[in-house]
Structure 1
Amino acid sequence: MSDLILWQPESGDLLPANAKTPLEISNYATQLSPRDRKQIVSAYNSSHFEMGVSYLWDKTINALKKELATVGVGLLGEMLGRPDVTEDDDVNDVLTTRDAIRLAEELGIVTITEALRLRHLHELVTHFSQLEYNNENSEELDETEALGALKTCIKSVLGRPKIEVAKKFVDFREALEGETIPENSQYIEMLNSSPYFFKKLTISVLMNGAKKNIGANLEHTLANINILIPATWRQLRDTEKWQIGYTYAEAYADGKTTAVNGIKSALLKVKGFDFVPENLRSDTFIKAAEAILRAHDGMNNFYNEPAPVKKLAKLGTTIPTPALPACITALLSVVMGNSYGTAWDAEPEASKILLKLSEDRWSFYLNNAFPSDIRILSKLLEEKPRAKWIKLASECKFSNIQIKKNRNIEQLIKATTDNEVSRIKRSSTKLIDEYYGKNK
């Protein structure tokens, strides 16, 4: 039985080395109309680089969002942890630029390297769009940067054919709520042999379905919870197990008897009640972490990050275990920053919270959540965020933490404590590949 496969870009360079001028390079942008290519070339030839790159970037992100929409806007919402999103929503309203790049990487539309270049380009475009120009001190996008932007957009998105991504999973996702999957179904074997990314997303789909579905769809969802959770429980990481327990507690608090009974039945089969939180205090911390990430990913992030970080700091001295992965990811994002640096008013507060975490709490994150934390693993491929990570790891004494089961995590932490940049990058890439199944 073949496993769930991500679409993989065609091998080989889509842009030959002898394409050097804007006209020669733009000819390979198969997703652009002749008129669009002409306007971009005209802007470049007139040295209006910022105007040309801005127009090019808009076309690139719109093309990427349209391709992502073929998966289903509702599924994209579930991948973002937003169960409020429906198929009727506009993909442009649902996805930010950073969301689009991250989901394109997760679904295999772009490679890890292409996603990294697109994020850098997004930061570059945002940086120049926010500059205040004056006659005495003005910075402008130069020709080299503009040509680099053109190559990145065409290699990563505009030069590729339009494709349908992960169709097997789209069909599987529809089956999760539309029919009851038999215990001997090929889907179970398929899921068990697939990358962890699909298992994590399957749990999100099922838990969101248990909370929002009614009637027959709810019955199918709960039946599938009782089939798929026992079948995959031993492969699930604690982050997903806590998600299941949290959903049970939330349904219980809301008086959703049918959902409670269905999830309870599944938890009894796997002896999973250790992962049910005693109260919903975690919800407040998770929402605070989400607010930090929205600020971090949004415009003017250095200005907007301090407020949500301070709000999280005021919630209490102890972060509930179910909320720990979300909170550490958010705080690490602030501390590590991006290729332009960090928010001066937010980083010290975020670092203060992380430095207070006990060795046991760091052990929980590094062993259970870090292997799936693509946001932080991707940051380790960048110079400035990686330097911040190394400094924090030393201050928090990661060298004292015992890493269990995952050899790549063990190697990454060892490389971090030894300040071996090439090994950090290599281990991070392996973990990202492991998560997406690209090393198969």
Structure 2
Amino acid sequence: MTLPLAVSSQSHVTVEVDNFTLALTGYLTELGLPTEKVLVDVTERRRVINNLPDVINSLDGARRSQSLYLSKFVAACGAGLFDAALNFIWDETVVNLRAKVAQFDLEYFYDSVITDSSRRPKFKDEADLAKIEEWELVRGCHLTGILSDIGYKHLDYIRDMRNWASAAHPNQNDLTGLQLVSWLETCIREVIGKDPEAPAIEVKRFLNNIRNATLTPSDAQYINAGIEQLPSDIAKSLLRTLFGMYTAESAAVQLKTNIRLVAEKCWLLAPESAKHECGFRYATFAANGEVARKAAANEFLTVVNGLPYLPGDTLALELSEKINNLSIAHNGFNNFYNEPAHAKALASYVSSTGHIPDAVRHNYVKAVVMAKIGNGHGVANMAVPYYDEMISKFGDNEIKEFIKLLSDREFSSRVALRNCTQSYRAHAQYLASRTTNQICLQALAIITTATDPQLPQLGKDSAFKRLTDVL
């Protein structure tokens, strides 16, 4: 079998691809192995080869010379192994995202993406990034501002396709050359060839000053003005990090002094879910007998007037753990197999009245609804009875959170998928029959009549936002 040895021009590569295909097919025949559906048609490979120069040239020389998996991508495309090529696109993207996180602020990143307090101590340095699941890596980069909204949506879709249509799993899915080139261009434009978003850079500078400088009230005024410009999701991640830094047993006096100067502004701008999370962590310290950390948490919450956010009983803590477990199972590999046990466990904590503590209601509704509408490829059928049982117990407070989910960036990305759009709309119609609240009914009517393209954008619609503000 003769293999192509020289790559002198684009046309020469195309010719050699044809020769390679004939030679390899003949060799497989000699070995008595299948030849059908092994290599992608040469026509599709030509489309990749013809479009590659324009896409690759958008990378600067330094980044291009370090992109090992892009070389493997090109080789796989030329050989006709598109499923492997998709895997290499994703590998290059993951390597690049990890490098960006390592150069950014690891503590902030880990605090943003790992909300399980028992799991968080296991992540300390750059080496621990390999322990982060890929969906967590993408989501964490979005939460911390390393990825833009549009970049997150594109990458989450490509990650999904990598899981379902690449060589990462056995499959016989057909991928086209133009699809591969388009995904490669997206990964280069949004990750490989792009620096972090401006808010992420500002947060990195801000955290560096908090840790290393001696701030004055005058300095804090400028920092607080900068915090006001941050998106709410980044403000949420920042509050989580400040709380974690303040309550660490090794926290220095100057660090705590710096945090007290800016914590109140961050608290005011963070969403309610982030404030309740601080209350949960306080209760966790108390339950675990961590006296020093409990005292530090009390100090922090006193500074920001956040003591009313402490949970009233242990039910909220138990629910929070079960909600987090369900979310991890739903977003991870083999979710259809893993979800039912976690759905059953969560449902067992919900009383016949459907009462959910205020502190976990948002996360509860989000986790249950996201699992019930699926991930675009289906729903965990064995878990559906539990999801239906929990949704049937939604009262007005849960219905309000159901409506406000469209203002959540992660959720709005999910309902952009066609099957999820239809399911969410159907649940809105169902819940409309279970409330008499006129504001809820108006909002649910807008949801049920919105078109597929309109629905993911409702959270940004001014009229819809006015209704959710009233809720």
Conserved 8 A contact 2:236-2:274: yes
- Counterpart residue number, 2:38: none
Measured against aligned partners, the alpha-carbon deviations of 1:254-283 in whole angstroms (never above 9, x if no partner) come to: 445555455445655665443221223322
**Aligned residue among 50, 53, 60 for 2:93:** 60
**Aligned residue among 38, 48, 56 for 1:26:** 56
Q: 1:143 to 1:229 in 2, by over 3 A?
A: closer
Distance in 1 (CA, whole Å) between partners of 2:459 and 2:303 is: 35
Q: 1:26 to 1:229 in 2, by over 3 A?
A: closer
Distance apart, 1:316 and its partner CA:
3.5
**Aligned residue among 144, 147, 151 for 1:114:** 151
Conserved 8 A contact 1:295-1:304: yes
Conserved 8 A contact 2:336-2:380: yes
Conserved 8 A contact 1:27-1:37: no
1:190 aligns with 2:226: yes
- Counterpart residue number, 2:450: 419
- Counterpart residue number, 1:385: 420
Distance in 2 (CA, whole Å) between partners of 1:424 and 1:147 is: 29
Distance in 2 (CA, whole Å) between partners of 1:260 and 1:36 is: 47
1:329 aligns with 2:366: yes
Distance apart, 1:41 and its partner CA:
2.6
Task: Summarize the alignment of residues 18-417 of structure 1 with structure 2, pairs less than 5 Å apart.
Answer: 20-30=50-60, 31-33=63-65, 37-82=70-115, 83-128=120-165, 129=167, 132=170, 138-158=172-192, 160-162=193-195, 166-176=200-210, 181-184=215-218, 185=220, 186-214=222-250, 217=251, 219-220=253-254, 222-223=256-257, 226-231=260-265, 233-264=267-298, 267=301, 272-317=306-351, 318-363=355-400, 366=403, 370=405, 373-397=408-432, 401=437, 414-417=445-448
Code of the residue aligned with 2:109 in structure 1: it is L
1:421 is paired with a residue of what secondary structure?
A: coil
**Unaligned runs of at least 5 residues, structure 1:** 1-16, 405-409, 435-440
Cα RMSD (Å) of the superposition?
A: 3.5
Q: Which has the larger radius of gyration?
A: 2
Distance in 2 (CA, whole Å) between partners of 1:76 and 1:378 is: 21
1:189 is paired with a residue of what secondary structure?
A: helix
Higher RCO (CA < 8 A, seq sep 6+): 1
Q: Pick which of 250-259 and 39-48 moved more.
A: 250-259
Q: Pick which of 69-78 and 166-175 moved more.
A: 166-175
Q: Pick which of 331-340 and 34-43 moved more.
A: 34-43
Distance apart, 1:234 and its partner CA:
4.6
Conserved 8 A contact 1:381-1:428: no
Instruction: Looking at secondary structure, tell me which structure has more helix per residue.
Output: 2
Q: 1:420 to 1:270 in 2, by over 3 A?
A: same
Distance in 1 (CA, whole Å) between partners of 2:195 and 2:228 is: 29
Q: Pick which of 161-170 and 97-106 moved more.
A: 161-170
Conserved 8 A contact 1:282-1:320: yes
Q: 1:25 to 1:242 in 2, by over 3 A?
A: closer
Code of the residue aligned with 2:135 in structure 1: it is R
Distance in 1 (CA, whole Å) between partners of 2:68 and 2:328 is: 36
2:454 is paired with a residue of what secondary structure?
A: helix
Q: Pick which of 71-80 and 200-209 moved more.
A: 200-209
Distance apart, 1:245 and its partner CA:
2.8
Question: What TM-score, normalized to structure 1?
Answer: 0.78
Distance apart, 1:372 and its partner CA:
6.1
Distance apart, 1:334 and its partner CA:
0.8
Measured against aligned partners, the alpha-carbon deviations of 1:338-377 in whole angstroms (never above 9, x if no partner) come to: 222222222332232122121123335655xx47633212
Code of the residue aligned with 1:341 in structure 2: it is G
Q: Pick which of 329-338 and 190-199 moved more.
A: 190-199
Conserved 8 A contact 2:373-2:379: yes
Q: 1:332 to 1:219 in 2, by over 3 A?
A: farther
1:415 is paired with a residue of what secondary structure?
A: helix
Code of the residue aligned with 2:134 in structure 1: it is T
For these two proteins, the number of residue pairs brought into alignment is: 402
- Counterpart residue number, 2:37: none
Distance apart, 1:67 and its partner CA:
1.3
Question: How high is the sequence identity, in percent, across the aligned residues?
Answer: 18
Distance in 1 (CA, whole Å) between partners of 2:336 and 2:317 is: 25
Code of the residue aligned with 2:111 in structure 1: it is E
- Counterpart residue number, 2:15: none
Measured against aligned partners, the alpha-carbon deviations of 1:6-62 in whole angstroms (never above 9, x if no partner) come to: xxxxxxxxxxx9995345433434434386555433321332211222222211221
Distance apart, 1:284 and its partner CA:
1.8
**Unaligned runs of at least 5 residues, structure 2:** 1-46, 466-471
